[in-house]
């Protein structure tokens, strides 16, 4: 062990060794992995080792597919057997809703290029897995690339391949301290002190402690997980093939063959947290005593699904801990304010996701950004609110217990809620508001007509469909009031504020008293934000964006301050909130509340106005595509401002609405949103955001890459608007799009246009199929529907309403 390394990886499980391997493979040879005991001593040694390419998040599914492809490669590179058994796999559906979901999911996987799946009947499932009872099964989905690995062998294969690329590994060497230095980090270990530029926390069950060494409170917690390994099953001895990996979603179990018996794993409803502050330092190859009373219900279902278990004994019980995040996805990436500190934690499916995590993190460290869009596992998707122990316990427990429970797109889950609420929350709740959540903040979805209204979870149009429709029509015909506390607001000040903004934003900056849409790009020309910049005219600027991207954007801003001295960026998102007024009567409402000449405020203008009792910052813009105003106030004034706006608007038909209606309204205008039409996987040219790029201004982040794309052959796919011949269900995202039987794109988002009466979607399609009138088809909840490309903005195409 030397005294200096370029990067030090802490943790010798499957994730740490994968990160080490990828760093070394991609060119960083001067890298070291430190393990407190020996490789696999934690969760890796007792993991079930299952692998499959399917995941509800398509981006993570793609990284899982990468991991599966990598396994045979590291086996060859290292010369270490990984015990790969590619048995194929079955996911079972035992209810009509689940079968409908599985048919829909099958099409989603097609969208992201997972082609080795097919839907199967119960009889086919029985033929593929003869020891299984198919009682109650309606159908299933088969995937070729599913199976399992020898977990210990796989970790040593990653490690061996890493060493062949020049990396070092030191075992039996616990990290004692982490100290930030001017050049990186000082890593104090039992065997000496190391200076390094980068530290990677891949500590698994000890991630919490390794985070605290750097002053970081990570939202992770270990939970115990059971599986059993049976004695030999006579029926398996008679087969000349291995039975496939099988997931019984209604039974909360997964199964794979283990020699001539089977391994049965259980995601029990009655979850069990273990050492929430991290595992003891001397813990390694121990397990917890099995708790059969806690898993009794799921165990009975498993024995019914595989009746042979009732005739043989249990050879081994495993009850061991794995580390989970609040949503079950990994925590990966750099930590804001801690340069050189990287996370690779909470990878509860390490043998399935470890390869993709290692690849993405190595690319990030070496090149500045990963190839794939990894926001779904970015540590920055959580803020300080997620450090609370009760929040972590509720949300990680909820995820674990719902691991095999079907979650619908319109379903709201209760854990860790309500956490953050605008001051009008109680009054809005009394008015019938039904709430969603974004980055811990309660955000309005719609306003129910009665207290006893309950929305039914569904993949199709819900029983709230007409409620949302009425809200949309009121915005178009009268005036709607929307709580916009759920947008981020960053205040930018200082003598070099304008120069810094001009550097990080690809657009021209607005003149004093104006606002402007501003794409933000990475150095590779990919999207980093679809933002709105306000110039308040007094040296103060605002950047507005998506509330849930607050930490993600602040990290980006902080990382791009080099060369700029007198500039400060302050997140004021919780201190400054507000409302949006949209609709033909919106100006009339404001005119009742102000003596200022609000009528003189031009489209995309902004300024300070007295609105009733309150001094507010007002911008004239509307995501709904109508004449509209965004009114921003101090957080403590939120409830009072709402009352004044509602009172002033009563004679003009004012009505409150939520973000479900805004989804419909913005689709009718072909306005994209982040995480759907705009992601860090897409470029400005692909998404049409290049129309906001100021090509003739000086250098800005991503300019060279954007010009190269503009002047080259262009992107393979572009964003379009589709009209779909749907019936009772609308596209929502990642549905495949077809032309003459060939997959030519996928839906980015969709819904029903209540004003136009059309089922609409925005979609990425092959560039040669973007012409208006092109006939296509799209699967909606598993059913193929006719579709065609239509002109953008099916409502008010010329934008006269917004400018009225």
Per DSSP, what are the bridge partners of residue 142? 90, 118
DSSP 3-state of 290: coil
Tokens of 136: 């109650």
Is 676:763 a contact under the CB 8 Å cutoff? no
- Regarding the domain delimited by 413-485+577-675, which CATH topology (the fold level of the hierarchy) does it fall under? Gyrase A; domain 2 (3.30.1360)
Chain-centroid distance of CA 379 in Å reads 10
DSSP 3-state of 133: coil
One fold for 413-485+577-675 and 716-794: no
* Other beta carbons within 10 Å of 628: 25
Instruction: Assign domain 4-332+340-364 to its CATH superfamily.
Output: FAD/NAD(P)-binding domain (3.50.50.60)
DSSP-derived pairing of the beta strands 31-34 and 4-10: parallel
Report DSSP state, residue 205. G
Maximal C-alpha separation, the chain? 88
Report DSSP state, residue 674. B
**Is the bond into 316 cis (omega within 30 degrees of 0)?**
no
Is 591:611 a contact under the CB 8 Å cutoff? no
pTM over 0.85: yes
Which H, E and C letters describe 430-467, residue by residue?
A: HCCEEEEEECCEEEEEEECCCCCCCCCCCCCCCCCHHH
Instruction: Scan for tokens 């572009």, then name that residue.
Output: 718
Mean pLDDT throughout 604-612? 98
- Residue 53, pLDDT above cutoff 80: no
Q: How many CA atoms does the CB half-sphere of 92 hold within 13 Å?
A: 29
Distance in angstroms (rounded) separating the CA atoms of residues 408 and 464: 14
Q: How many CA atoms does the CB half-sphere of 438 hold within 13 Å?
A: 21
Distance in angstroms (rounded) separating the CA atoms of residues 330 and 334: 13
Measured on CA atoms in the order 295, 300, 302, 307, is the torsion positive or negative? positive
* Other beta carbons within 10 Å of 582: 29
Each residue of 424-450: pLDDT tens digit? Answer: 999 999 999 999 999 999 999 999 998
DSSP 3-state of 724: strand
Per DSSP, what are the bridge partners of residue 425? none
Each residue of 647-685: pLDDT tens digit? Answer: 999 999 999 999 999 999 999 999 999 999 999 999 999
Is 627:583 a contact under the CB 8 Å cutoff? yes
**What pLDDT sits at residue 56?**
67
Mean pLDDT of the chain: 96
DSSP 3-state of 87: coil
**What pLDDT sits at residue 62?**
82
Is 569:623 a contact under the CB 8 Å cutoff? no
Report DSSP state, residue 11. -
Chain-centroid distance of CA 566 in Å reads 34
Each residue of 474-527: pLDDT tens digit? Answer: 999 999 999 999 999 999 999 999 999 999 999 999 999 999 999 999 999 999
* One-character DSSP codes across 116-173: SEEEE-HHHHHHH-TTS--TT--EEEEESSEEE--HHHHHHHHHHHHHHTT-EEE-S-
Each residue of 235-294: pLDDT tens digit? Answer: 999 999 999 999 999 999 999 999 999 999 999 999 999 999 999 999 989 999 999 999
Each residue of 738-756: pLDDT tens digit? Answer: 999 999 999 999 999 999 9
- Residue 137, pLDDT above cutoff 70: yes
Under the banding of pLDDT at 50, 70 and 90, the label for residue 57 is confident
**What pLDDT sits at residue 392?**
98
Each residue of 363-398: pLDDT tens digit? Answer: 999 999 999 999 999 999 999 999 999 999 999 999
> Roughly what angle, to the nearest 10 degrees, separates helices 465-477 and 659-667?
60
Distance in angstroms (rounded) separating the CA atoms of residues 43 and 350: 9
Is 676:751 a contact under the CB 8 Å cutoff? no
- Residue 13, pLDDT above cutoff 90: yes
Considering the four listed CATH numbers 1.20.58.220, 2.40.30.110, 3.40.50.2300, 2.40.50.100, the one that applies to the domain covering 716-794 is 2.40.30.110
Which H, E and C letters describe 621-659, residue by residue?
A: CCCCCCCEEEEEEEHHHHHHHHHHHHHHHHHHCEEECCH
* Other beta carbons within 10 Å of 726: 23
Contacts 24+ apart (CB under 8 A), 691-698: 692/506, 692/507, 692/516, 692/517, 692/518, 692/519, 693/506, 693/507, 693/519, 694/506, 694/507, 694/508, 697/502, 697/508, 698/502
Instruction: Give the start-to-end residue ranges of the domains of the chain.
Output: 4-332+340-364, 413-485+577-675, 487-572+683-712, 716-794
Note the residue count of the chain.
804
Is 218:255 a contact under the CB 8 Å cutoff? no
Tokens of 316: 């081994």
Is 415:395 a contact under the CB 8 Å cutoff? yes
Chain-centroid distance of CA 675 in Å reads 8
- Residue 533, pLDDT above cutoff 90: yes
At residue 423's C-alpha, the angle toward residues 422 and 428, to 5°, is 85
**What pLDDT sits at residue 389?**
97
Where in 458-567 does DSSP place strands (E)? 479-483, 487-493, 514-521, 527-535, 541-546
Alpha-carbon distances of 85 from 81, 483, 593, rounded to whole Å: 11, 53, 71
Smallest CA-to-CA distance from 470 within 624, 622, 623, 657 is with 657
- Residue 578, pLDDT above cutoff 90: yes
Instruction: Scan for tokens 């998102």, then name that residue.
Output: 573
CATH number of 487-572+683-712: 3.30.70.1400
Under the banding of pLDDT at 50, 70 and 90, the label for residue 540 is very high
Tokens of 728: 């009772």
Q: Using the CB atoms, write b or e for 637-647: b if 16+ within 10 Å.
A: bbebbbebbbe
Instruction: Scan for tokens 């925590």, then name that residue.
Output: 331
Is 533:515 a contact under the CB 8 Å cutoff? yes
Each residue of 295-331: pLDDT tens digit? Answer: 999 999 999 999 999 999 999 999 999 999 999 999 9
**What pLDDT sits at residue 452?**
93
Report DSSP state, residue 530. E
Q: How many CA atoms does the CB half-sphere of 594 hold within 13 Å?
A: 24
Is 584:517 a contact under the CB 8 Å cutoff? no
Q: How many CA atoms does the CB half-sphere of 700 hold within 13 Å?
A: 27
**What pLDDT sits at residue 59?**
79
């Amino acid at each position: 062990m030397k005294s200096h390394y370029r990067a030090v990886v802490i943790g010798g499980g499957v994730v740490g060794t994968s990160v080490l391997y990828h760093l070394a493979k991609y060119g960083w040879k001067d890298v070291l992995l430190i393990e407190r005991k020996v490789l696999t001593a934690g969760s890796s040694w007792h993991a079930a080792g299952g692998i499959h390419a399917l995941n509800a998040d398509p981006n993570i599914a793609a990284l899982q597919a990468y991991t599966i492809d990598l396994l045979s490669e590291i086996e060859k590179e290292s010369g270490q057997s990984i015990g790969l058994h590619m048995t194929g796999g079955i996911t079972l559906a035992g209810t009509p809703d689940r079968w409908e979901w599985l048919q829909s999911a099958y099409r989603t996987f097609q969208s992201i290029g997972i082609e080795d799946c097919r839907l199967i009947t119960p009889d086919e499932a029985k033929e593929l897995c003869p020891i299984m009872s198919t009682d109650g099964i309606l159908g299933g989905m088969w995937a070729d690339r599913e199976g399992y690995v020898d977990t210990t062998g796989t970790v040593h294969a990653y490690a061996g391949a890493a060493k062949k690329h020049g990396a070092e590994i030191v075992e039996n060497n616990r990290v004692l301290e982490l100290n930030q230095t001017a050049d990186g980090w000082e890593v104090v270990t039992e065997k000496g002190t190391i200076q390094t530029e980068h530290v990677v926390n891949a500590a698994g069950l000890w991630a919490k402690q390794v985070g605290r060494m750097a002053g970081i409170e990570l939202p992770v917690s270990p939970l115990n997980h059971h599986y059993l390994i049976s004695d030999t099953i006579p029926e398996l001895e008679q087969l000349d093939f291995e039975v496939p990996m099988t997931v019984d979603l209604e039974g909360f179990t997964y199964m794979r063959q283990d020699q001539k018996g089977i391994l049965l794993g259980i995601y029990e409803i009655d979850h069990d947290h273990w050492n929430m502050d991290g595992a003891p330092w001397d813990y390694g190859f121990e397990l917890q005593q099995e708790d059969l009373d806690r898993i009794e219900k799921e165990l009975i279902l498993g024995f019914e699904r595989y009746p042979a278990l009732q005739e043989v004994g249990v050879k081994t019980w495993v009850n061991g801990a794995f580390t989970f995040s609040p949503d079950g996805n990994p925590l990966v990436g750099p930590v804001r304010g801690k340069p050189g500190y990287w996370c690779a934690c909470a990878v509860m499916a390490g043998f399935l996701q470890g390869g993709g995590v290692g690849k993405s993190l190595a690319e990030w460290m070496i090149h500045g950004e990963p190839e794939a869009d990894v926001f779904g596992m970015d540590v920055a998707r959580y803020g300080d609110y997620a450090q609370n122990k009760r929040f972590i316990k509720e949300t990680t427990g909820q995820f674990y217990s719902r691991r095999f429970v079907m979650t619908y797109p319109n379903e709201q889950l209760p854990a860790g809620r309500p956490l953050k609420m605008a001051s009008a929350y109680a009054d809005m709740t009394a008015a019938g508001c039904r709430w969603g959540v974004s980055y811990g903040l309660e955000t309005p979805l719609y306003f129910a007509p009665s207290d006893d209204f309950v929305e039914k979870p569904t993949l199709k149009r819900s029983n709230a469909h007409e409620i949302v429709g009425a809200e949309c029509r009121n915005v178009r015909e009268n005036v709607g009031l929307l709580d916009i506390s759920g947008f981020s607001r960053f205040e930018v000040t200082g003598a070099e504020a304008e120069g810094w903004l001009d550097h990080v934003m690809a657009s021209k900056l607005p003149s004093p008293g104006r606002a402007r849409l501003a794409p933000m790009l990475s150095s590779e020309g990919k999207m980093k934000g679809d933002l709105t910049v306000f110039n308040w005219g007094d040296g103060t600027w605002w950047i507005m964006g998506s509330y849930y991207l607050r930490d993600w954007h602040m990290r980006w801003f902080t990382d791009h301050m080099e060369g700029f001295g007198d500039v400060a960026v302050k997140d004021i998102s919780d201190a400054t909130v507000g409302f949006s007024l949209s609709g033909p009567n919106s100006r009339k409402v404001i005119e009742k509340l102000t003596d200022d000449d609000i009528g003189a405020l031009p489209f995309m203008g902004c300024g300070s106005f007295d609105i009733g009792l309150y001094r507010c910052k007002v911008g004239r813009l509307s995501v709904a595509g109508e004449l509209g105003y965004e009114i921003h106030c101090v957080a403590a004034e939120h409830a009072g401002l709402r009352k004044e706006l509602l009172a002033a608007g009563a004679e003009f038909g004012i009505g409150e609405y939520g973000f479900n209606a805004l989804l419909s309204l913005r689709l009718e205008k072909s306005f994209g949103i982040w995480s759907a039409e705009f992601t860090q996987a897409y470029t400005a040219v692909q998404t049409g955001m290049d129309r906001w790029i100021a090509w003739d201004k000086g250098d800005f982040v991503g300019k060279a890459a954007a010009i190269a794309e503009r002047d080259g052959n262009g992107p393979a796919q572009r964003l379009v608007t589709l009209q779909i011949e749907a019936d009772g269900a609308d596209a929502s995202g990642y549905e495949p799009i077809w032309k003459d039987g060939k997959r030519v794109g996928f839906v980015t988002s969709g819904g029903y246009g209540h004003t136009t009466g059309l089922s609409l979607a925005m979609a990425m399609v092959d560039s040669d199929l973007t012409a208006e009138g092109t006939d296509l088809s799209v699967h909606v909840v598993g059913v193929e529907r006719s579709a065609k490309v239509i002109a953008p903005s099916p409502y008010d195409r010329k934008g006269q309403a917004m400018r009225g």
